[in-house]
Amino acid sequence: MIKPMNWNTTYHIYEGIALLLIVTAWGAIIFGSLIVSKADYQSVNIQLEKSFQKAFAQNQNALDMLCLDVEYQGSSREGRERIHRGEELSKRIYECQRTINSIRNRLPKRNAKSKDYIVSLFNEQVIWINKVFDDLTLPHFEKIALPSHFINSSEEATKTLLLTYQLKLGEYQTAVLRKLGAFELAYPLRDNFSWYPTIIPHTKVVQVGNEYAADVFDGKIIDLYNVRYFVNDQFVKNGSLQFKPEGNGQRHLNLTVQYRYGWCSPVQQTNKKIPYTVLPK
């Protein structure tokens, strides 16, 4: 299962940093000493931007995986509806994020009305998500309660706070996509060098006597040597996993990937347990 970012931790840490920097800047104005430099804000913003870009890509990849899974399952009406809802959400969030990006990148030319507009735009998305996805038993998503954070804040401090709000929107998007099943379909593997081949089963439920099949997607495999896949200690061909499961009920396969980073380097290995269900005929 794809493991989404730890949104609550990420967002609250960076929002806390943003508010701390702004409060410190106010203190500098009051007491006449520059406690927080522009470089401090820029350093935080670089990390926030990286988190934002990673989250955006992760949500998009999860939606792509959902489309693949629904196709593998026969493109049921229920599956197509989940895709439609996920795409509608992603399109709306994308347009909102693009607008905030445009305003954020044009500071300080934008005036206070632009900041008020961003708060209004953010809260509009939150209201829409709470209403449209009410049937998914999601927690009630909170609007921005303190737009006064923007008052008298510097350009860099404003960018910091805007990025935290963009991360918050990403958190809400992830929560909805999880409920739609987008993060329950693929199984990424990871080694100590951040290699992420992803296993996508054709189905999570098979009948006795039928084959279990899955595909392997990996953009970095060309950089590796002697890549070999094993399912339950049995060698299988690269890029495709197929075998006939035994027994009934909840099962799991043991997937092992062996590889080298160079012809003379030692063999590396990473393992993953992937669940599936076997039904009697």
Quick: pLDDT tens for 97-141.
999 888 888 776 555 667 778 888 889 999 999 999 999 988 888
pTM of the model: 0.60
Output the pLDDT for position 259. 79
Torsion of CA 94, 95, 100, 105, to 10 degrees: 90
Which of 157, 154, 150, 140 has its CA nearest to residue 17?
157
| Single-letter code of the amino acid located at 263 | W
Output the pLDDT for position 89. 94
Distance CA 195, CA 172 (A): 27
Which of 78, 55, 70 has its CA nearest to residue 6?
55
What are the two backbone dihedrals, phi and then psi, of residue 240, each rounded to the nearest 5 degrees? -150, 130
pLDDT (mean) for 51-74: 79
pLDDT band at 186 (very low <50, low <70, confident <90, very high): low
Mean pLDDT, all residues of the chain = 75
Report whether the peptide linkage leading into residue 4 is cis, meaning its omega lies within 30 degrees of zero: no
Output the pLDDT for position 16. 52
Output the pLDDT for position 3. 45
Residues contacting residue 16 through CB under 8 Å, at least 6 positions apart: none
Cβ of 277: how many Cβ atoms within 10 Å? Answer: 15
| Contacts of 192-195 spanning 24+ positions with Cβ under 8 A | 193/261, 193/268, 195/220, 195/224, 195/270
What residue ranges define each of the domains in the chain, with the CATH number in brackets?
7-179 (no CATH), 187-279 (2.60.40.10)
Output the pLDDT for position 124. 93
Query: Does 261 score more than 60 pLDDT?
Result: yes
Query: Checking phi first, is residue 233 left (phi over 0); if not, alpha (psi -120 to 50) or beta?
Result: left
Residues contacting residue 270 through CB under 8 Å, at least 6 positions apart: 189, 190, 191, 195, 256, 257
Residues contacting residue 112 through CB under 8 Å, at least 6 positions apart: 150
Q: Integer distance in angstroms from the first to the last C-alpha of the chain?
A: 27
Output the pLDDT for position 96. 92
pLDDT (mean) for 226-246: 78
Report residue 134 CA to chain centroid gap. 21
Output the pLDDT for position 110. 55
pLDDT (mean) for 253-267: 80
Output the pLDDT for position 1. 44
